[in-house]
Amino acid sequence: MSRVLPALLFVSAFGCNPEDPCEAASLYEPTVWVGLGAREYADIDPASELPSERGMQGGSHVEVAAQMTGIHPGRRLSNQPEAQPPTFIATLTSPDGIELGYGSLTGQVPQGDASLSEMTGIRLFLDGANFFDSTTDVTEPRLATLLLEVQDACGVQASDEREVYVAW
């Protein structure tokens, strides 16, 4: 009896889950949908203009969001490698291949589970040096491709891209 109590306390303190999270996530097709949102997910309409926000230091950014299935969301307060949250990378590229913006997010656990989860607040910073050139009309939105890539701790990857317009 004296050995059972410490073992139960250890299991509850470290969130041991007998289910393999990678196996549970593999029941669903790995898919991600790129959207917008700092606090909640919103779909991106085809060829819509992204709402950029001005930062305090003069730069601009876009709040990207993701909905996904088949991606293990990870767990809070766990030091086990398979419990780490996914990594998100967002890029914005011009039609001629110039990177107009970049953002990444690690260490945040999406809301939901492998059947459907959501991550918001992936901040994509616009690159002013690449965004403006001598031929750019700063009053007109630029056509670009928004790409969101996600990889979970199980090594599963998914991506989604949309053609969008973005203005500084």
Contacts of 154 (CB under 8 A, 6+ apart): 21, 22, 25, 26, 72, 82
Average pLDDT over residues 83-101: 93
Instruction: Report the predicted TM-score, pTM, of the whole model to 2 decimal places.
Output: 0.83
The string of pLDDT tens digits covering residues 104-126 is: 999 899 999 999 999 999 999 99
Nearest residue to 167 (alpha-carbon basis) of 131, 119, 125, 113: 131
> pLDDT at residue 97 above 90?
yes
Domains detected in the chain? 20-166 (2.60.40.10)
What's the chain's average pLDDT?
Answer: 84
From residue 22, alpha-carbon distances to 89, 103, 116, 135 in Å are 21, 26, 15, 49
